[in-house]
Chain A
């Protein structure tokens, strides 16, 4: 068939085709590219593609096919297909019945979004099939450069600033990746993108880990997620939530499986965002925090490093792209139709958007890990692996974080968007393409949970695990139902905090407030010193001028024209002086 065509190629060619088409042909291309790419993946990948003796003698591997890269390959094709289906109405003009300012649905901006999303999906595929760090680096940077347009397409001053910060953070991550890779190559003589670890790799290992960590949203580097997703277009957020962080999870699984430090980092990531998610008003920002929380489970799983744990981590990444995509799609649908995403502005939409509400609830149940839904069969692998490896405290934290997921993503998202207090908004259901994309997402959430045996067959490691034991079903339902009971009690007693129009300080304050403040303060200090030095120098020059003026000025003694006699006298004095000196 297509031979061994690296999976990013159809997407890059597709982006070019999308740029030069409009209307129906463009829509056909948008949907055909992920489908043809998927066929290429299923039928066409027979052997790796390498460029020998490239760049200083290193072998570059553009295509490495194994179970791990294939799993993410399938996932990204599904995510791209759902994303393009969801965004298919862009370019058709205003959405019928919409009252908000969602995507720019007409003109060239729709094309810009499609092209950048196509390149973005291609870059993600390029990264997961890369077999060496140089190739990875190229796609790593392309991921940032192509996706930033999905934020800028919002066309507001704020999205512009957010996009720039997003770009800088990701470019820094890329630079670290390249530095780490070169240091590693210097040490080992190879740029192969394989297991790196922290032992025996010196600073190179740590630099690579930080490079991956920035993209994965490690603590302190996590705010690009919570900043950029809420600022992107409704359709852009669906793409953003699918690719970047999952490429990072893939890279961690590839290079740092079994590193203990990841257990600690991952557990912290599951833990702290859920507090922010309780307080946050913007529902897409809540989903951003939810994203960090879910990645936390994956990172911890990779850190535990057993076959079950790593399988759990990558399986959970797979499930997360679908259910988080579904949640972003449902809130994106609300945003498209109402122009709002804040808990304080929404509520009561179930009356006029029942399908969207139902599909959102399916996504919410999937992320909460209800039996028959996807996370039930994926997250549990990580939890069981934690117990097997005697990480009891970690397990307790993760169990708490699982209850937290139910709180913010399982209950809060659907409850505040579609139920809660009636906002009086009577928005229609979103366009059909959005509803179909969400429906497919919902079906996939259930399919993973139900056809888990087939799904487990795709996972990279050999393992023995059965998720549907009576005990697991029972204990999980107990955790979730009694958690929900806790929520009801919190609401009925009025303890649950109201949604507030506010921001809550997070690590981003370091670069959004403290950094600029420091620069300003330092700047003003420098300015003050500068002013002082300039004033002193000017004063000095002025005094020199004054002295000179006194001596050489109109009435100055040195400016007078002296008679010849006095000159002779002076010369005589000077000569006498010399004479005395030399004698």
Chain B
């Protein structure tokens, strides 16, 4: 009986192993395997908002411009050239003559008009619809105040000419054109399949790749699109993107040769950062993201700017980047990272404990006496260990410098976001990643009516300055107005306290893989990536 049992177990296991082999029918090996971070929520370019999605979608759908693989700046893509009117408000884009979808049919200027109108339809529920509001009448159409879609500032003059009219001169409009939200999508497929259009096979794409398959939580496989206008420069045939969120697994796969590239900052095991940074195949660079503290100005005691400033002045930023993050992050007194284009650094609040104590005393809390215990809201969870460490450090700084007690209030991500939006906090861990390389992407979130403000701070003077800057064509003058606005934001009002600007992090062996370059927006077009050897 014992023998029988062992034998039956063995045959059961062998049978299962056979089935398993059957399931994993041999697939072609990919030329390049990339660990891409979280599983994409969507591959619809007009819906996506996260970095992992944007990196994949950029390979499938293209717009008038695309990100240059080296610098991350916009360069001609589906449009070969364009003219800008003297007042900086009207672009005339000329599409290339050889443009086709991956199915072989022509891409026209009318497809662009259709695509952009689709973003502006509330039912599409595009997270990024806000970046379309630079187009004339786009916002009022979106809000339903204007019914006629022809009034929106985008028109097809003929098959290959697109006229784009803006609300005001927009220095970064060509960067926006490279963003997935403004990419061209296939009208006929979307009309026929609705929400499920991205899962039709073969998927009709406008970018360098088509979608071979998308197996959720397993992999996305991209295959070269021979109809792409720049196909001659596509450097690989098949690319696999793995949705992995465990930093340890990502590192293991890379070290074992099962993955060639790992390119999400969250995929570096925090406790190994020090060691890994020294390796030649680990690459770190400035990345346009800001880490800061939000103060809820609608709640006591942070309705008093002196209290907010006292808290901001107490933060020893260098200690945080040197002791905790350690990945090349830069201590920052400004919200806008220093490597941002068209930017003149503002004059923020430096680390100054004695001034901090003086301000807190003048607000009625000398030495922290009588100061209520306040909460610091943060996101908790496995991926948030750095946030937790920073929170503990800030707690200690505020206790040591100001003599106040701050208790930590960790919440899971969605609850944290809901709490932040509801202004149901006193202090909150915050961050913002640039959508495009320009100071406006950081500064406009603190406009009075911006949904991302989340501090309750509303200020007419600030709103006017930002608006004035964005109406200015001269880039130098524009940067100066932004500097004035940001200085006012940080020094006078202080609804936020900046801590550091981000560092990007990726790893790949430069002797095996070429074509991935450090750039401030951390975008690395997949068609430029080339395998040098196995």
A binds B: no
